[in-house]
Amino acid sequence: MKLKKLLNKNIMVASLTTAVLLSAVAPGAVSYGAAGAANTPLQFQIGSKKATDYRGEYTLAVAPYILNGVTMVPVRALAEGLQASIHLDSATKQITLAKDGLTVTVTLNSDAVIGTYIKNVKLPAKVTAVKGTTFVPAKSVAQLLGAATLWNAKEKKITLQAGESAQSFPFNFDQGEDGWKGDFADLPVDYDPAIYELKYARELLPTAGNKTNYGLKLNGMNRSDDLFMYVTKKLEGLKPNTTYEASLSFKLYTDQSGGMMGVGGAPGEAVRIKAGFVSKEPARLQVDEGGHLYYKVNVDKGNQSTEGTDMKIVGNMVQPNSDLTGFQPVAMEYSAVLKTNEKGELYVIVGSDSGYEGLTTLYLDDMNVKLLPKK
């Protein structure tokens, strides 16, 4: 009981101290802007008060630490090291960081986060006050500001690199398909539409009470030991014949529990989700296999549990919480290095490669592509 009271007292003191820090700067709220400088990486080391950024090495008031596998760093040091502005609101205990058109707002003692292109997202750990210093999850907040992160497990160091010239292409489908297209492959050309039940559409996500949030729906019955359902989008206005570091993040909505039985494989584990970037438009072609015509996609995606040169496995159809029913979102990510074509175009493709001989229904939402010219 004494220990519990002591912990509660320490938490209260830390929260009050941070509130004082937030309110002492100026009445209401105040903003700070970091000076422009070279794009030098920001680096923290767990347990050390020494940090480095474009200003060189300096000393932190409190050392970074790891909380349940999440690297926590001082929010002000993160903002200034990435040359982002930081806005502190003492009334709401909210902290807003902004850089190159991207904003992130977090709240003390909360895992909630709002900002540019962010929807239905939570931080992996709560924003916390330690000895009067506010800490945030380093990787999550940095990436939402467009920065790349690198973790050195041996030295327990995290390096954050601001993306000065990265281009962002966000798609949430609430207003339309945004130029995305859907199609199906790995099935006979003379397939029977009545038994394959193929469908691509923009629809409301099937979550409780949802009336505004749309996604891209893919639906199909695997009747031929294989089925590939995919969506693709052309990205234009890039530099021709230029190598880019490309990254993609998105949410997959699935209602499949893990550990289930199914013909050909499990409905969750045997349906692999693949993603890729290519310089030519993905399309299905007619291919003769043993005297039978099949639709095949013109990119190397591999087959089911195997990867191809153009597409890699980023997950499967297993929902995060099998104790709950209904569709649940799963966050997925993919990155690659590739060159644009002579017109300055790239194509992104995401799909499900099914070994489960049954019906698969999925939704895709919050597609976010970032492209950075490789130096």
pLDDT at 70 (0 to 100): 94
pLDDT at 375 over 60: yes
Take residue 172 and report the two structure tokens written for it: 């949430």
pLDDT at 162 (0 to 100): 81
Q: Which residues contact 344 (CB under 8 A, 6 or more apart)?
A: 236, 237, 238, 239, 240, 242
Q: What is the CA radius of gyration of the chain?
A: 24
DSSP state of 216: E
pLDDT at 310 over 60: yes
Q: Which residue has the tokens 């923009």?
A: 202
- pLDDT confidence tier of residue 39, bands split at 50, 70 and 90: low
pLDDT by residue (tens digit) across 160-203?
988 655 677 889 999 999 999 999 999 999 999 999 999 999 99
Question: Which pairing describes strands 243-254 and 328-339: parallel, antiparallel, or unpaired?
Answer: antiparallel
pLDDT at 308 over 60: yes
- Give 1 or 228, the one with higher predicted confidence: 228
Residue 248 · residue 334 · CB < 8 Å: yes
| Percent over 90 (pLDDT), the chain | 67
Write phi, then psi, for 102 (nearest 5 degrees). -105, 135
Take residue 295 and report the two structure tokens written for it: 């639709």
Q: Which residue has the tokens 């830390």?
A: 14
Q: How would you write 29-58 as a 3-class SS string? A: EEEECCCCCCCCCEEEECCCCEEEECCEEE
pLDDT at 40 over 90: no
CA distance 180 to 254: 20
Describe the chain by its helix, strand, coil percentages, rounded to 5: 10, 45, 40
- Give 33 or 83, the one with higher predicted confidence: 83
CA distance 219 to 317: 13
pLDDT by residue (tens digit) across 81-140?
998 999 999 899 999 999 877 889 999 999 999 887 676 789 999 999 999 999 999 999
Lowest mean pLDDT among 26-30, 72-76, 330-334, 370-374: 26-30
pLDDT by residue (tens digit) across 59-83?
999 999 999 999 999 999 999 999 8
pLDDT by residue (tens digit) across 262-295?
787 889 899 999 999 999 999 999 999 888 999 9
What 3-state DSSP class applies to 119? coil
pLDDT by residue (tens digit) across 216-261?
999 999 988 899 999 999 999 888 999 988 989 999 999 998 888 8
What element of type H or E holds 130? strand 128-130
Cβ burial, residue 304 (10 Å; 0-12/13-18/19+):
buried
Residue 81 · residue 39 · CB < 8 Å: no
Closest CA to 65 of 49, 53, 81: 49
pLDDT at 253 (0 to 100): 97
User: Roughly how many angstroms between the first and final C-alpha of the chain, as a whole number?
Assistant: 58
pLDDT at 21 over 60: no
CA distance 42 to 69: 20
Within 13 Å of residue 351, how many CA atoms lie on the same side as its CB? Answer: 36
Cβ burial, residue 341 (10 Å; 0-12/13-18/19+):
middle
